[in-house]
């Protein structure tokens, strides 16, 4: 229960990724968001292997476009819209 009080928000983690290429912050974002992204891709494609590939592509694009993330926006919005 106390752990949640001290964990960084998605936006704080993304800020660290954007400014410092912080790999541990990015890993934490992936840990939090991998399942929702993979599940969406699996529902859309009907193929778990394809969903895994698409999930990996999504996170690759998030990291590649990290400089485009705006701190006043939510990370989740950026994640769902990154191209």
Q: How many CB atoms lie within 10 A of CB 56?
A: 15
Domain extent at residue 63: 10-81
32 assigned to some structural domain:
yes
The contacts of residue 50 (CB under 8 Å, 6+ apart) are 41
* 51-62 confidence digits (pLDDT tens): 999 999 999 999
The contacts of residue 63 (CB under 8 Å, 6+ apart) are 17, 26
- As a whole number of angstroms, the distance between CA 54 and CA 15 comes to 24
Give the CATH number, domain containing residue 51. Answer: 1.10.1740.10
Domain total of the chain: 1
* 24-73 confidence digits (pLDDT tens): 999 999 999 999 999 999 999 999 999 999 999 999 999 999 999 999 98
1 assigned to some structural domain:
no
Q: What is the pTM of this model?
A: 0.87
55 assigned to some structural domain:
yes
2 assigned to some structural domain:
no
């Amino acid at each position: 229960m106390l752990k949640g009080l001290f964990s960084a928000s998605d936006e704080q983690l993304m800020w660290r990724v954007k400014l410092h290429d912080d790999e541990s912050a990015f890993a934490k974002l992936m840990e939090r968001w991998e399942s929702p992204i993979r599940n969406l891709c699996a529902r859309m494609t009907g193929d778990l292997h394809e969903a895994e590939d698409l999930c990996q592509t999504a996170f690759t694009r998030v990291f590649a476009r990290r400089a485009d993330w705006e701190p006043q926006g939510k990370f989740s919005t950026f994640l769902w819209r990154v191209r």
